[in-house]
Chains A and B, each alone.
Chain A
């Protein structure tokens, strides 16, 4: 049945075919061993690290320099690693088993395959990310007042409005963009171990190098690095002292993701599977 539908789709210029390949990608990722646990890990790691950080903050009566939204969403820094691994495995799993040749025999247009994969992976990560971010914000809302971040000290409870909403929604988008960045690089690299090393290296390297530099260089590096720039979206206080404004920071990450997807798409098109 599906074979017939695919061939019909090809005749009618791709619309049905794209739904079919979305469905195929969904089936492949759904049946990949461990995928459920990886998605659960995004939620659990993000929320737990956020809650632990919130529980460790202190704010004496005279006030403190904390950013409640950023504190609550600290877990994203760990959750993003799992989101990246999900995206990488969605690609390299196919190369590891040789499944990619079947996939490309069924859908010869490589751009379509990559786009379908991107839609499914990003969708899954955005879904898990939404749960993770909501759990983190809830944990922050419950924990932070007990740590001295009370309205009396100038901290209204965390909510989903204004800058807090920007931080929360931006963090979900951040995870989606990290997944796209990882997906693009994984298509170019094809080996899961090397791809994981490269993507995590790329994400975490910039902040590490930045700490070793003098302030001018550090600021530039934090503007360029996909993680340090992208996480600017989480800031709700002290925006003027940040290297980039929240949305500009997320924009830098979006450029990285776009670049990685273009690179992946180009390599995918030019290279034998």
Chain B
């Protein structure tokens, strides 16, 4: 076997074009990862996102009608209506600033108890939403479902929050007499005096534009009418204060956020979100996968070299010499796979380590917010990308063995590996549903190893692969490619044994 490996290594390194191809793959990956890239305004107007209690980056922007609560207490309110404004289109042209009535599924309004008015501080809130019924949410990522259904004059919702020390319990009711406990959450280190009251907020609207990689995004706004507000416990006497929390210079064309108080009813209008930050159409910043954008170009060079590593033997008739020297054909294939796999893995490891480490520094230096990741995740992304390139190379080699002609083999390799990546991740033109199926079934699923951010069901976003959200978990995605490679290699070994060379 050592002799086979040595022979295959000699064949590889003596073909100048292949060595150049491999170097080209590394070079183009690094050039695109480190080349002129996005620039942001973060170093000008520090835009590191707000950090929530759990250390995750969060959005914390809403309209807050508040008063202090010292010690324990309870707030109860009835939400009589929830309406909103969404961006509007006239015909197929979006009219700037025009709005129409409507709610986002995660437009939120209700009652909230919050450690302070500082964005990112701990909170628990009972809310009605545009499309997900009543929810108890806390500390940005916690989300417990309450009563289902929307709010209208005919079916209002009563909400209640009770603070006891650092635990907060949420209740809901459809009639104000029979109450259900939705859940209890613990907010560690809640100060003695907290801020409590009413709030409204509505997240960014995004509609994918097919045939392009873009999305149409615009801020939205919601307005809640809350009445029968009852306070019990250590609430400060006096009136209510209205505050636009977070987002200085943030969202909202249309009527300004604010509140009105008349005849015991509060009308609160807000825009923004209280949720973990996501990237992509409605989110901010980018992930370290952005620095690996050049993997696509490197991949093309690598599949061409890997396919030719086998097809060249057929074209030149060298295969007959090879098989005379090593009559066990499985060994020949294994040797070739080991050599091309190892070479592309090392190439991929070096180039992705360089772009991930230096690329994210360059992005940050030019003012782009890059979601921070742990060192373990960084290593997973780098080694995973190298593994994707190595497995893709072996797959291309197996296709070359099966098809024996370089044109067909390279075409097949590009069609199964590169094009799905192209149409789903790099410059997506397919609709999201089709993208997600391709990213489960095709070898391009393996690019999930570059994903670093969780998806949140309570944040509306276009969770697309381009923004770093894949339908499969990182290692599951890599396993899909590994399965393709194993199947192709097995078929190639069988054909190689069965066919005349």
A residues in contact (CB < 8 Å) with B? 34, 49, 52-53, 56-57, 62-68, 70-71, 73-74, 77-78, 81, 85, 88-89, 92-93, 96, 149, 153-155, 191-194, 196-197, 200-201, 204-205, 207-214, 217, 234, 237-238
Contacts and interface: CB of A to CB of B under 8 A. Distances in A.
Interface in B329-365: none
B285 to A, nearest CB: 14
A194 B293 CA distance: 21
Contacts of B432: 56
A71 B210 contact: yes
B356 to A, nearest CB: 14
B89 interface: yes
- Contact-residue bracket for chain B: 35 or more
Contact of A208 (B90, B100, B297, B307): B297
Nearest to A61: B100
B91 A154 contact: yes
- What are the 8 closest A-B residue pairs judged by CB atoms, nearest first? A154-B91, A63-B89, A56-B431, A192-B407, A193-B406, A207-B427, A197-B304, A208-B426
A231 to B, nearest CB: 9
19 contacts: A52-B434, A62-B102, A66-B210, A73-B211, A74-B430, A81-B414, A81-B419, A85-B407, A149-B92, A154-B91, A193-B406, A193-B410, A197-B414, A201-B297, A205-B296, A208-B293, A208-B296, A211-B427, A212-B32
Interface in B415-447: 415, 418-419, 422-423, 426-427, 429-434
B369 to A, nearest CB: 14
A153 B91 contact: yes
Contact of A212 (B91, B293, B303): B293
Contacts of A89: 407
Contacts of B415: 81
A210 B297 CA distance: 13
A62 B88 contact: yes
Interface stretch (B36-44, B144-152, B480-488): B36-44
Contacts of B311: 193
A94 to B, nearest CB: 12
Contacts of B429: 53, 74, 77
A188 to B, nearest CB: 15
A53 B211 contact: yes
A193 B427 contact: no
Nearest to A67: B211
Contacts of B211: 53, 66-67, 70-71, 73-74, 234
B406 A191 contact: yes
Nearest to B396: A193
Interface string B15-32: 001000000000000001
B418 A63 contact: no
Contacts of B267: none
A237 B93 CA distance: 8
Given A56-B433, A74-B211, A192-B410, A65 B301 contact: no
